[in-house]
Structure 1
């Protein structure tokens, strides 16, 4: 939204209107004490803008390079490159409690550019590229650092970070302006309360990912799953002998998984159609998206948002279509239903619809899989979210460059045969994961609310 305001002391270092925001100027005018962002930091963006040639290699011999999208992903899946691709690798390695800022992009309302995420176990020991502005605090994990992170995540904080931009279409962040951003000083009680909420958010996010992995491990440890993993894990050209029915004339649908599909169909008598009605595997309806502002409308999640640890939804008016085509019930499976076959692409990946996601509208590009029973939904997710499951889902893709998952082929995929004990164990892990994700989202939202509704109004009034 356009705004008009007066800048009392413009600096010759920044002559673009973009480099000023009303909130930052108000903070600078107030007589109450503020601190500069740079005062809290020991290092800022040591790898930012460091361009290098990425040399791909096997996972056993390389490190994982994450993109801006991976920084915000619930389960990052970066590119594996040789460590010596980077001139100074240690500058790129992510450490716990660092704050990673998306440092290249555009000013769209739902774009990642200018947004911050704190480094937890999802990101630690991975490596960032030249577009990540990494902030290392002098006292990592302290009340000051976590309160400052909450400020950067607030709407005024995001606008403040974006006000340090330079460039034309694809913007970047200026370190000198970012270092000078004012951070409002508050009493210790508010600071400690905000910091504890961020600590809880980090703890629960780590629990969320750990519980998801534990649920998958129950199925990954099955002998037939280990055998199938060996058959399809490596991406390479394959050929198979196929004696079953031919639902398509596309060799990809039969040969892309090596012998894994045939093996599991022989070992497991059940099929996905046995637990999921045909009408419960579908993509949502197409509809017009009309932007609006809260409290009107509903949050709308695209494919990136569904797989993010902290979605950045767009706000739209509720479309005039059946709610079941727009929203999903908790414990539905959401599959990247359209895309390409890149190893880090969302196509074929599976997300679990936790209660916080179920409150929002979901893009029609995601394939919904809605088993009848809760226990069956847990087994379906645990299986399809493994590497083997993702390979099988991608084998149902049809099309040319932009593939789509074919519903009848999805329903014909094998369904795991597990005993009741394993089924209950998977369900316990997924329940714990779902609760942890909701708790983390609530904790971070409350920390940001404190900044936006308790701290800043007293400064900007």
Structure 2
């Protein structure tokens, strides 16, 4: 397979304007051309528009991460991987004592910040929303804090995410194997001033988007809490699970389905018995026939988006904006698509606490247009028995996560034990409660889709205004 090389001739003046850097990054990114385009507009350099710790553009120090299980002793901790996820209810917990120390207290996230990954895959950007105010971030996330007296935070975020802002952000990266960005690389980043009307409109769109994502998170949490409350239960926390003791030194009557101790561990049995004290049904009874299995294997033939499906894998499915390769529609059948209300569960992985194995996602709205790899368990509720959104309200819970992990098999790389899955007990609330949970979930995903559209609208508005050269 031949490699494609990019070749570009540049004038010597570009070398002078970039400090005579001889690596390709600043010139191939498009940042230099954009500087020429921005001459049509009044511009400010980013450090003149920020305020706060270290001038408002900063990341953090290297530090030892002391994780805890109990929320009373920890704060939600955002890493570059978790930063991209839509549902932030499962963040690991950093020691509260460390987080509030003089060394780390400034790493707290505040609403309106722009967060940018600055190590590894650099340049991924999100806007901090209201439900992130009690979250801390790691040293690989760079924060940009807009000075409210100089610029609107939503406009600044939207600009940095446009095809004019992104090249500026990534042009300063350095490193060969692991790339990095530092606050000093933003010293000469140009921000166009497009007039009060445009900047206010872009800001308002981003703020509305953030509010909708906060609603998305609140609805999901409310649906899960309601589902459990209605059957007299409370979802467990990771701390609860670990406080129940180890899985060593127990006896169990093994059936013909499995001889693996994990499938009979006391904590798993305790969860199942709690559910069976109320109304419940086995998972298989709630699902359509032929589901509760992983997807088909298929060839991946790359194609242009016009003729392709975007293929989503286990890592990207949980992102707010999933990324994936584009595979030719003609090379696959419709089995790579899923029907509305399908629950996809990450079906391969390891048993690490922060691993995605056994985490669930709900497919509806815009996500129905994508294709999904074979590495997902398909859980499709029978709508004559249970509303699919209601089933997801349970499947996203910590209780379901621990039960699914106890129904696994494998040595290093785990998979589901497909003979154990059908009998997993699922709480079964009354119809009115199930309908309420379903409606909350559907409303959550509608809010999420609308939030993405509003962000895109803000970015498009800025791009059009820059291209037109006027306010």
Structure 2 length normalisation: TM-score? Answer: 0.87
Aligned length: 450
Q: Report the secondary structure of 2:67's partner residue.
A: coil
Equivalent residue, structure 2, for 1:218: 226
Shift of 1:235: 6.9
Contact 1:47-1:91 within 8 A present in 2 as well: no
Equivalent residue, structure 1, for 2:165: 157
What does 1:62-101 correspond to in 2, within 5 Å? Answer: 62-76=74-88, 77-85=90-98, 88-101=103-116
Equivalent residue, structure 1, for 2:182: 174
Rounded Cα–Cα distance in structure 2 between residues aligned with 1:34 and 1:5: 27
67-76 or 295-304, which deviates more: 295-304
Rounded Cα–Cα distance in structure 2 between residues aligned with 1:35 and 1:287: 51
212-221 or 242-251, which deviates more: 242-251
Q: Report the secondary structure of 1:133's partner residue.
A: strand
Asked whether 1:118 is paired with 2:127, we answer yes
Equivalent residue, structure 1, for 2:294: 283
Asked whether 1:338 is paired with 2:345, we answer no
Contact 1:233-1:387 within 8 A present in 2 as well: no
Q: Deviations over 1:136-190 (max 9, x none)?
A: 11119x9632122112222443232111101111000132222311223323333
Rounded Cα–Cα distance in structure 2 between residues aligned with 1:417 and 1:79: 30
Q: Deviations over 1:70-95 (max 9, x none)?
A: 11112233332324446522221111
Q: Report the secondary structure of 1:411's partner residue.
A: helix
Asked whether 1:55 is paired with 2:59, we answer no
Rounded Cα–Cα distance in structure 1 between residues aligned with 2:33 and 2:360: 45
Contact 2:252-2:264 within 8 A present in 1 as well: yes
Rounded Cα–Cα distance in structure 2 between residues aligned with 1:248 and 1:391: 18
Q: Report the secondary structure of 2:411's partner residue.
A: coil
Asked whether 1:41 is paired with 2:50, we answer yes
Judged with a 3 Å threshold, the aligned counterparts in structure 2 of structure 1 residues 9 and 303 are, in CA distance, closer, same or farther, namely same
Rounded Cα–Cα distance in structure 1 between residues aligned with 2:48 and 2:169: 16
Equivalent residue, structure 2, for 1:136: 145
Judged with a 3 Å threshold, the aligned counterparts in structure 2 of structure 1 residues 266 and 223 are, in CA distance, closer, same or farther, namely closer
Judged with a 3 Å threshold, the aligned counterparts in structure 2 of structure 1 residues 26 and 269 are, in CA distance, closer, same or farther, namely closer
Shift of 1:409: 2.1
Contact 1:268-1:414 within 8 A present in 2 as well: no
Equivalent residue, structure 1, for 2:306: 295
Judged with a 3 Å threshold, the aligned counterparts in structure 2 of structure 1 residues 341 and 388 are, in CA distance, closer, same or farther, namely same
Equivalent residue, structure 1, for 2:193: 185
Asked whether 1:354 is paired with 2:369, we answer no
Asked whether 1:387 is paired with 2:394, we answer no
Judged with a 3 Å threshold, the aligned counterparts in structure 2 of structure 1 residues 337 and 393 are, in CA distance, closer, same or farther, namely same
Q: Deviations over 1:215-245 (max 9, x none)?
A: 0011232465338779746474126664684
Judged with a 3 Å threshold, the aligned counterparts in structure 2 of structure 1 residues 246 and 158 are, in CA distance, closer, same or farther, namely farther
Q: Deviations over 1:371-406 (max 9, x none)?
A: 121843123211111111111111111101111123
Equivalent residue, structure 2, for 1:400: 411
Equivalent residue, structure 1, for 2:258: 248
Q: Deviations over 1:96-119 (max 9, x none)?
A: 11011011114xxxxxx2110011
Two-structure CA RMSD over aligned residues (Å): 2.7
Judged with a 3 Å threshold, the aligned counterparts in structure 2 of structure 1 residues 269 and 134 are, in CA distance, closer, same or farther, namely closer
Rounded Cα–Cα distance in structure 1 between residues aligned with 2:162 and 2:390: 38
Judged with a 3 Å threshold, the aligned counterparts in structure 2 of structure 1 residues 295 and 155 are, in CA distance, closer, same or farther, namely farther
Q: Report the secondary structure of 1:295's partner residue.
A: helix
Rounded Cα–Cα distance in structure 1 between residues aligned with 2:273 and 2:161: 48
Unaligned stretches of 5+ in structure 2? none
Shift of 1:263: 3.5
Judged with a 3 Å threshold, the aligned counterparts in structure 2 of structure 1 residues 89 and 4 are, in CA distance, closer, same or farther, namely same
Q: Report the secondary structure of 2:6's partner residue.
A: coil
Asked whether 1:103 is paired with 2:115, we answer no
Rounded Cα–Cα distance in structure 1 between residues aligned with 2:372 and 2:244: 31
What does 1:264-275 correspond to in 2, within 5 Å? Answer: 264-265=275-276, 267-275=278-286
Contact 2:348-2:414 within 8 A present in 1 as well: yes
Rounded Cα–Cα distance in structure 1 between residues aligned with 2:426 and 2:331: 36
Equivalent residue, structure 1, for 2:214: 206
Asked whether 1:20 is paired with 2:27, we answer yes
